[in-house]
Amino acid sequence: MRTFLATAVVLGLIVVSVVLVWAHGTLWRPTDNPERIVVVPERATGREVIDGLHRDGLLPSALTGRLYLRFRADGRQLHFGRYRIPARSRPIDTLERLLDGQVETFAITIVEGSTATEAAEACIAEGLGTADEWDRIVADTQWVSDLAPDASSLEGFLFPDTYRF
């Protein structure tokens, strides 16, 4: 009986060691991928995100990704948004980026004296809306009705500054 228990313990330790080495290799070894953009939809589940990362080649094993989220995420959740994943990133770094919510940001500078059309063009150039959407927003004076009840548009209400999104 003692021999059987000793053998079972040794085999169990070997199996656990092999799994840990395999998981470490799949999460900490850099990929050969070029820089990538990953978009995590607002209501995506962890499984959907992990499966997408695996499908895109950013995570060699979906199983290790799910295990990492379950046991090492420390209660953190994946954040939705757009992420820029550097070339040759380690899968662990990609997961941590999504867990920390390190979304891609961009800046738009509105120069003093800019018209609403010029401000809209700067936003559109960064992929923030379309011309039709900006035309509707600028025409909607409900935003400033308390400040300027007679305003015919939002022209002049955008403070010159650098806005980060």
pLDDT digits (tens, 9 = 90+) for 43-82: 999 999 999 999 999 999 999 999 999 988 888 999 999 9
Query: How many Å apart are CA 158 and CA 116, to the nearest integer?
Result: 8
Weakly modelled stretches of the chain, pLDDT under 50 = none
Three-point CA angle 105, 107, 112, nearest 5°: 165
Confirm if 27 and 68 have CB atoms less than 8 A apart: yes
CB-count burial class (<10 Å; 0-12, 13-18, 19+) for 129: middle
Query: How many Å apart are CA 83 and CA 37, to the nearest integer?
Result: 6
Query: Looking at residue 90, what is its pLDDT?
Result: 95
Cβ neighbours, 10 Å, residue 68: 21
pTM passes above 0.75: no
Instruction: Tell me the residue type at 97.
Output: R
Among 23, 21, 12, 13, which residue's Cα sits nearest to residue 63?
23
